[in-house]
Amino acid sequence: MPVVDIDTDELRQLAATEKDDDALKRDLFALGLEFEGETEEGELQFEFAPDRLDRLSVEGVARSLRYQYGHDRGVYVPTTNDSEWVIEVEESVPEQRPYVTGAVVRGLDMHEGELQSLIQLQEKLHATMGRQRAKGAIGVHDLTMLKGHHGGDSRAKSITYRGVEPDGDRFVPLDSDAELTPADVLSDHPTGQTYSELVTEYERYPAIYDDIGLFSFPPVINGRRTEVSTDSRDLFIELTGTDQWTIDKMCAIICYALDARGGRVERVTVDYPDRQLDRPDLSVTHKTVSHERIESVLGIDLSTDNVVDYLERAGLDADIGDDRTYEVAVPPYRVDVLHAIDIVDDIGRAYGFNDLEPRYPDVSTIGGCHDRTRREDAVRDVLAGLGFEDMLNFHLSSEQECFDRMNVEIDPGDSDAFGVNRPPMITEPYSEQYTIVRTWALPSLLMVLENNTHRSYPQDLSEIGLSARVDEREETKVHERRTVAAVLARTDASYEDAKARLQSVADALGVTLETPPTAHPSFLDGRTASVVLDGEHAGVIGELHPSVLVEHDLELPVAAFEFDLAAIE
């Protein structure tokens, strides 16, 4: 869990309060920050949930207190001046780290405490959102030490983000007096040695230039020429990374912190080869939550005026719809607000969780298995009785396994073919084998058969497990379901064999089964049917297509079926 070091004198000044340390500890605990101890310098240390990364600095913590005390209300977005600087992105930038963003902040009065707070925020953002600089890295520079390029158009000043050869241009890095190439930095400089693994495999290293030369080697180290000190008044902030959203949000958090110190945020134009961005991105997002859900989760009765008041005290804004649904505006530094329940949590904290009166629930019951678990166990028992061996496979897979090797193409919309849907993608997969959440379970069973061709036959396998597809109608944009899949791999496997076993499952569970003919690219035409349970289309059954068998090195026929477990409720 992140820990932030707080100078309570600075906190009192920024939060406009005269409360003593004990009172501050109580107020911060109510906001979710728990006192952990003191540093050798006497600063207080607070631990908090890793979702509220805007509280990684004293400025962010003070902002939360100001809202809690009622000094500020609603969404605040800093006023930004017109852009005077451009970040030009060249095509030579390493493809592994293609994104950049930035901002200019002017008019700061940097004392030592403010400088240390900025450094702390920078390093803690590196450790959290930045994934130790792998996903996003921040460079803060003294603007007066930069000399922008002067182009022929109306843009006055620009710097360039480009790729540089490892033994290319030299610069003097921080904490050094010698001019070094990027390769020298990685081998000879302590900071370079620490972060060398982030770029050492690149053919060209990321670098940022002004008219004088190289001044930043992200994500490793800045140049000494633009080092920030207590004499710095105007700052240039640049961030590079593997994901535009991540570095934009990191930049927004820094801009809000410096705005709280009296800085004036100025926009920067990011000029990619194929598009242009206006940064920093301080746009407000919106989430929807119903009044009924707020009262249901918190267990209290609230008027609509109360809800709006608590939202404003949480730093949010809200418009009320006719059906008592709230359209909630969320400021750009709140990277934690993903779903409606996050809005409810903010309302609860503004109300005061300690003020909620504990009460016994209205029902008297004891713990037990969920109905879904009972259904799964019942189906599993039937399948085991029919001779199937129960499998437990990974829910993560790849597009190649789920689609290409199953002779199907991803359908960008809704498809009638079972399992042929747009899969939830893993943004930064650890392995190329696990890039999506699988949309159906049959491919997983085929992989088991493929890895067991040296075993004796018959091999009758089954699995009850999770699958998912993209669905914009869902709050999470993903629809999850549990499916029942089975394969019969044997010399005489046929549609009739699979149908007989599926009929036994349906009879044992008391549901009616129909199997009207259908077509599916993974199965043989004329030997494929839809699985219809109690009148609901729930799955597919048939003999697998020869191309699928060849793809999985299977030399004997395979019959299979899969259906949605929810259809047997």
Q: Which residues are known binding-site members?
A: 336, 342, 345-346
- Expressed in angstroms, the distance from the first to the final Cα of the chain is 41
Sign of the torsion formed by the C-alpha atoms of 188, 193, 195 and 199: positive
Q: What is the spatial distance between Cα 22 and Cα 12, in angstroms, rounded to a whole number?
A: 12
Amino acid at 229: S
Pairing state of beta strands 523-533 and 513-514?
antiparallel
User: How many CB atoms are closer than 10 A to CB 181?
Assistant: 20
Nearest CA among 349, 296, 340 for reference residue 318: 340
CB 314 within 8 A of CB 68: no
**Per-residue tokens: 310:** 């608590």
CB 508 within 8 A of CB 380: no
Q: What is the spatial distance between Cα 272 and Cα 362, in angstroms, rounded to a whole number?
A: 59
Q: What is the DSSP string of 13-41?
A: HHHT----HHHHHHHHHHTTEEEEEE-TT
Nearest CA among 544, 527, 531 for reference residue 489: 544
- Which segments within 282-349 are labelled E, that is strand? 285-290, 317-320, 325-330
Four-CA torsion 97, 257, 311, 319, nearest 10 degrees? -60
Helix crossing, 495-509 with 371-385: angle to 10°?
130
CB 32 within 8 A of CB 48: yes
Q: What is the spatial distance between Cα 504 and Cα 262, in angstroms, rounded to a whole number?
A: 73
Q: What is the spatial distance between Cα 539 and Cα 68, in angstroms, rounded to a whole number?
A: 52
Paired with 542 in beta bridges are 528, 560
Paired with 105 in beta bridges are 235, 265
Q: Residue written as tokens 């259809």?
A: 567
505-512: list long-range contacts, CB under 8 Å, 24+ apart.
505/379, 505/382, 505/383, 505/386, 506/533, 506/568, 508/378, 508/382, 509/375, 509/378, 509/379, 509/382, 509/568, 511/567, 511/568
Sign of the torsion formed by the C-alpha atoms of 123, 129, 134 and 137: negative
**289: three-class secondary structure by DSSP:** strand
**Per-residue tokens: 270:** 């990011």
Residue ranges at the known binding site for Mg(2+) = 336, 342, 345-346
Nearest CA among 550, 476, 506, 512 for reference residue 379: 506
529 phi and psi angles, rounded to 5 deg: -145, 160
- Which segments within 202-324 are labelled E, that is strand? 205-209, 214-217, 221-222, 235-241, 264-271, 276-279, 285-290, 317-320
CB 122 within 8 A of CB 234: no
